[in-house]
Amino acid sequence: MVDLSYIYEYLKRHLSYERYAHSMEVGHIAEKLAKHYGCDIGKAKLAGLIHDCCKEEKYENLVGYAKKCGFPVDEESYKIPEILHGPASVYICRTLFGIEDEDILSSIRYHVTGRENMSIMEKIIFIGDYIEPSRKFEGIEGLRALAYENLDTAMLCALDLSILYLIKKRRLLHHDTVDARNFLIDRFTQI
């Protein structure tokens, strides 16, 4: 049984006020999206709430946690360190929060990059993280509406925006993000 009061306390102690508020908002949107798409509401809310539980940890801790839960901390992840808080958060969720549900854990693991053939829960957390109320970028209102019309189209749109942003900044693309987009493009062109 997950101890929610312990989780809230942990988040308050380990996250800034802004990140804590962001986590609550992602939990809230994940709950609404799960209701809309007939997913497990409790799991979605919990996954949204804890998806960034390691986001403000020191780099050395992120590497250690990610390794402990079997994530390959390879050259690609050294070059794109912002992806590490996904798998590192999985470690905290397993060891401190006692969460073993793979649907929740994989949605946290892949919330930064996405991946090929994502589950509905993974898409809900990815999109919830993208459209929560504090996010501001051109086109966000359209994406917020799209999230309730077609989750795959919303995912493709969010991935396009992320990839374009990274290209403009001349930053590396993680292979999982490219795979996530290619998978969706492939599916859309087969319809």
Number of residues that bind Fe ion (CB under 5 A): 2
Is residue 45 within 8 A of residue 34, CB to CB? The reply is yes
By CB under 5 A, is residue 25 in contact with Fe ion? no
What's the gap between Cα 139 and its chain centre? Answer: 20
Nearest distance, CB of residue 89 and Fe ion, angstroms? 8
The nearer residue to Fe ion, 31 or 52, going by C-beta atoms, is 52
Distance between CA atoms of residues 49 and 15, nearest Å: 12
Nearest distance, CB of residue 72 and Fe ion, angstroms: 19
| Closest CB 1 distance from Fe ion, rounded Å | 26
Q: Could you tell me the two tokens for 163?
A: 């990839």
Provide the 10 A C-beta neighbour count for residue 157. Answer: 19
Number of residues that this document lists for the chain: 191
Give whichever of 133 and 185 is closer to Fe ion, judged by the CB atom: 133
Residue 129 as a binder of Fe ion (CB under 5 A): the answer is yes
Spatial CA neighbour of 39 closest among 155, 131, 101, 119? 119
Q: Which of these segments, 10-18, 32-40, 49-57, 146-154, binds Fe ion (CB under 5 A)?
A: 49-57
Q: Does 57 bind Fe ion (CB under 5 A)?
A: no
Q: Which amino acid is at 89?
A: S
CB of 50 to Fe ion, least distance (A): 10
Q: Does 31 bind Fe ion (CB under 5 A)?
A: no
Question: Which run of H or of E encompasses 8?
Answer: helix 4-14
Per CB under 5 A, 52 contacts Fe ion: yes
Q: Could you list the residues that contact Fe ion (CB under 5 A)?
A: 52, 129
